[in-house]
Amino acid sequence: MGRQPCCDKLGVKKGPWTAEEDKKLINFILTNGQCCWRAVPKLAGLRRCGKSCRLRWTNYLRPDLKRGLLTEAEEQLVIDLHARLGNRWSKIAARLPGRTDNEIKNHWNTHIKKKLLKMGIDPVTHEPFHKESKAEQISSHADDNLPQPGNHQLMLETDGANNMEDNSSSQTENSSSDDPRLLESICNDDSLLNSLWMDEPPFVDGTSWNNQPPPQNISNMSLPSWEDNCSWLLDCQDFGIHDFGIDCFSDIEFNTLTTLEMGESKH
């Protein structure tokens, strides 16, 4: 028996989302929370695959997302985490609040990869190309201990930034970060990085969107746990998207609206 497709292929729209579809999806999530994605398109009146809805929400519509390019500090954090974790983008994204795995993956492929190559560093091994022969030796020793961050010391020096392991002052120097204190705390948190490496659930992320259990029952979802982290949803729970006034939004929510407006103006 073949695997059932995630959605009926017939009548399912593909391609870029319209502002109207975005509004429908946002309205539905605001009203009902995140539950069974398979049912979302039908209930929300969308001719989309549930998977597509989930992707659209998590990668673009989520109100806690930051927009725009990664800051220098975020970029360094990505490099450092990538040295430890490899292409585990979701793990990396979990350490960058407001960033998605897709966004980081894209940024890695379009920006960081080239940057490292330009610097003569292999983006896969994080070793300088001319040292690659030595890399194996080093890595065999590294196995004895907790994973060390490749040779990002060299990368960071080359890049004019500082080492994550020794960044008690460096992060404050990096004024390009949106929230240097947050990044600093993440970078300094060895146990956090260790837990990442060990593939354990990161304790600081217990309330993040990625780990939210869906509301068990829409009818009695008085305070789904995932809303603890998104108080704005509580404010908006009883309203449709059209009922929102700009002033009830924080910057983040405003970004979502702005995105929608921009999208709408395009179409």
Partner DNA sequence: AAGCGGTACAACCGCCAGTGC
Partner DNA sequence: CGCACTGGCGGTTGTACCGCT
Q: Does 109 bind DNA (CB under 7 A)?
A: yes
Range 198-227, binding DNA (CB under 7 A): 210, 214
Q: Does 266 bind DNA (CB under 7 A)?
A: yes
Place of tokens 């990161």: 202
The distance of closest approach from Cβ of residue 175 to DNA in the complex, given in angstroms and rounded to an integer, is: 21
Structure tokens, 53: 């809805």
Among 28, 71, 83, 89, binds DNA (CB under 7 A): 89
**Comparison of 56 and 152: residue with beta carbon closer to DNA:** 56
Q: Does 87 bind DNA (CB under 7 A)?
A: yes
The distance of closest approach from Cβ of residue 122 to DNA in the complex, given in angstroms and rounded to an integer, is: 15
The distance of closest approach from Cβ of residue 40 to DNA in the complex, given in angstroms and rounded to an integer, is: 8
The distance of closest approach from Cβ of residue 168 to DNA in the complex, given in angstroms and rounded to an integer, is: 29
* Binding range to DNA, per CB under 7 A, among 87-95, 165-173, 176-184, 229-237: 87-95
Q: How far apart are CA 132 and CA 231, in angstroms?
A: 49
**Comparison of 104 and 135: residue with beta carbon closer to DNA:** 104
* Binding range to DNA, per CB under 7 A, among 98-106, 125-133, 139-147, 246-254: 98-106
At 100, phi and psi to the nearest 5? -105, 160
Q: How far apart are CA 171 and CA 232, in angstroms?
A: 30
What value does the CA radius of gyration of the chain take, rounded to a whole number of Å? 21
Q: Does 245 bind DNA (CB under 7 A)?
A: no
Q: Does 101 bind DNA (CB under 7 A)?
A: yes
- Residues near DNA (CB under 7 A), total: 43
Q: Is the alpha carbon torsion for 25, 16, 99, 67 positive or negative?
A: negative
Q: Is the alpha carbon torsion for 67, 71, 73, 75 positive or negative?
A: positive
Q: Does 128 bind DNA (CB under 7 A)?
A: no
Q: How far apart are CA 99 and CA 68, in angstroms?
A: 10
Q: Does 229 bind DNA (CB under 7 A)?
A: no
| Nearest by Cα to 41 from 9, 3, 7, 17 | 7
* Local structure of 7: helix, strand or coil: coil
Q: Does 37 bind DNA (CB under 7 A)?
A: yes
Q: What share of the chain is helix, strand, coil (3-state, %, to 5)?
A: 60, 0, 40
Q: Does 6 bind DNA (CB under 7 A)?
A: yes
Q: Does 35 bind DNA (CB under 7 A)?
A: yes
Structure tokens, 213: 């259990």
The distance of closest approach from Cβ of residue 245 to DNA in the complex, given in angstroms and rounded to an integer, is: 26
Helices (H), the chain: 19-32, 40-44, 50-56, 72-85, 89-94, 101-107, 113-118, 132-142, 152-158, 170-173, 180-188, 190-197, 231-236, 251-266
Chain residues that interact with DNA, rule: CB under 7 A? 1, 3-4, 6, 13-17, 35-38, 48-52, 54-56, 58-60, 69, 87-91, 101-103, 105-107, 109-111, 114, 210, 214, 266
